[in-house]
């Protein structure tokens, strides 16, 4: 039975949101709704305009016989800016101050409402970049990687700091952790989690001296793969030269006073690079 436009628009919206970055042919919709391609085409014009006007994302139209539409869940600049303001407001509290100048983030990276915005914002920076896999290190980075991967619609891999017996063969590297101590640690990744020649986006919660990020970069090299970007939620205060320079950060911890228990956070270089 032929489907009504109203029903098609609802189900199409759902289908597109569930299949981001996937080329969907007009034929698929035409068959699914038993409707003429011309009707589907009209539907998609309405969807495209509404997605753009309401900040839902971009509906790309690929013309030709093998063409169709592709939903890109890119956040617009204003929504990202609003999200960063909200995030700073949420974090600028003395109760979030942890020993060592760290900021308590676990509740945010454990809350689907924040994770949707964090993931979508970070992913928005890489929607024109070819990414095969999102990489992070256990444990804090995992929810962030998963959210970013969700909006890029690619797999994510978790680098481990200790051997897991159930993982099969692994590749490991040594890296310098906690820059003031120059401690040597080991990180490793199961061989089958990442194909050689992959394009990898690295994400994590914090960067301090940069040891963890540069460790992951070395590990990516061991897989004969390429780092296409690195983004963290917040850059911590660090006196000295970081072991990595090429990364973006949503936020920057400007100052922390453990005596007064005050903390100051502002927007990082992520905002500056927004197009």
The contact set with a second copy (CB under 8 A) reads 5-7, 9-11, 13-14, 17-18, 46-47, 49-51, 53-54, 56, 98-100, 102, 104, 106-107, 110-113, 115-116, 138-139, 142-143, 146-147, 149-150, 153-158, 160, 164-168, 190, 192-193
Minimum Å gap between C-beta 9 and a second copy is: 5
**Phi, psi angles (nearest 5°) of residue 183:** -80, 135
Residue 18 or 269 with smaller CB distance to a second copy: 18
Minimum Å gap between C-beta 202 and a second copy is: 15
Q: Could you tell me where the DSSP H helices lie in the chain?
A: 5-18, 26-32, 37-53, 77-91, 112-124, 141-152, 211-222, 269-272
Q: At what angle do helices 77-91 and 112-124 cross, to 10 degrees?
A: 130
What is the end-to-end Cα distance of the chain in Å, rounded?
Answer: 44
Minimum Å gap between C-beta 65 and a second copy is: 26
Minimum Å gap between C-beta 96 and a second copy is: 10
Residue 64 or 222 with smaller CB distance to a second copy: 222
The residues, any chain, with a CB within 8 Å of residue 14's CB and separated by 6 or more, are none
Residue 193 or 249 with smaller CB distance to a second copy: 193
| 230's tokens | 């690195």
Residue 31 or 192 with smaller CB distance to a second copy: 192
Residue 64 or 99 with smaller CB distance to a second copy: 99
Minimum Å gap between C-beta 64 and a second copy is: 25
Q: Taking the alpha carbons of 154, 160, 166, 171 in that order, is the dihedral positive or negative?
A: positive
Minimum Å gap between C-beta 275 and a second copy is: 23
**DSSP for 148-184, written as a single string:** HHHHHT--EEEEBSS--GGG-SEEEEEEEESTTTTEE
Residue 160 or 248 with smaller CB distance to a second copy: 160
Residue 114 or 247 with smaller CB distance to a second copy: 114
Task: Give CA separation, 256 vs 35, 87, 237, 248, in Å.
Answer: 61, 17, 8, 21
Q: Are 60 and 69 in contact (CB under 8 A)?
A: yes
d(CA 97, CA 267): 18
Length of the chain: 275
Reported as type and span, the H/E element at residue 62 is strand 58-62
Minimum Å gap between C-beta 6 and a second copy is: 5
């Amino acid at each position: 039975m032929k489907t009504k436009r109203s029903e098609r628009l609802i189900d199409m919206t759902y289908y597109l949101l569930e299949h981001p970055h996937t080329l969907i042919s007009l034929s698929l919709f035409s068959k699914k709704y038993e409707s003429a391609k011309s009707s589907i085409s009209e539907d998609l014009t309405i969807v495209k305009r509404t997605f753009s006007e309401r900040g839902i994302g971009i509906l790309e139209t690929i013309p030709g016989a093998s063409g169709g539409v592709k939903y890109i869940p890119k956040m617009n600049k204003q929504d990202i800016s609003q999200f960063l303001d909200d995030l700073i407001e949420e974090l600028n509290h003395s109760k979030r101050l942890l020993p060592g100048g760290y900021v308590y983030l676990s509740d945010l990276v454990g809350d689907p409402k924040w994770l949707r915005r964090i993931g979508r914002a970070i992913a928005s920076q890489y929607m024109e970049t070819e990414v095969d896999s999102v990489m992070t290190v256990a444990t804090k980075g995992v929810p962030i990687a998963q959210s970013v991967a969700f909006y890029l619609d690619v797999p994510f891999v978790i680098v481990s700091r200790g051997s897991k017996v159930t993982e099969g063969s692994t590749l490991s590297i040594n890296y310098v952790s906690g820059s003031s101590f120059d401690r040597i640690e080991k990180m490793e990744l199961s061989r089958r989690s990442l194909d050689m020649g992959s394009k990898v986006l690295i994400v994590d919660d914090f960067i301090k001296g940069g040891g963890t990020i540069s460790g992951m970069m070395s590990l990516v090299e061991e897989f004969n793969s390429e780092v296409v970007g690195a983004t963290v939620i917040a850059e911590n205060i660090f006196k000295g030269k970081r072991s990595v320079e090429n990364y973006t950060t949503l936020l920057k911890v400007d100052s922390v006073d453990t005596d007064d228990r005050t903390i100051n956070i502002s927007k990082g270089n992520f905002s500056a690079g927004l197009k």
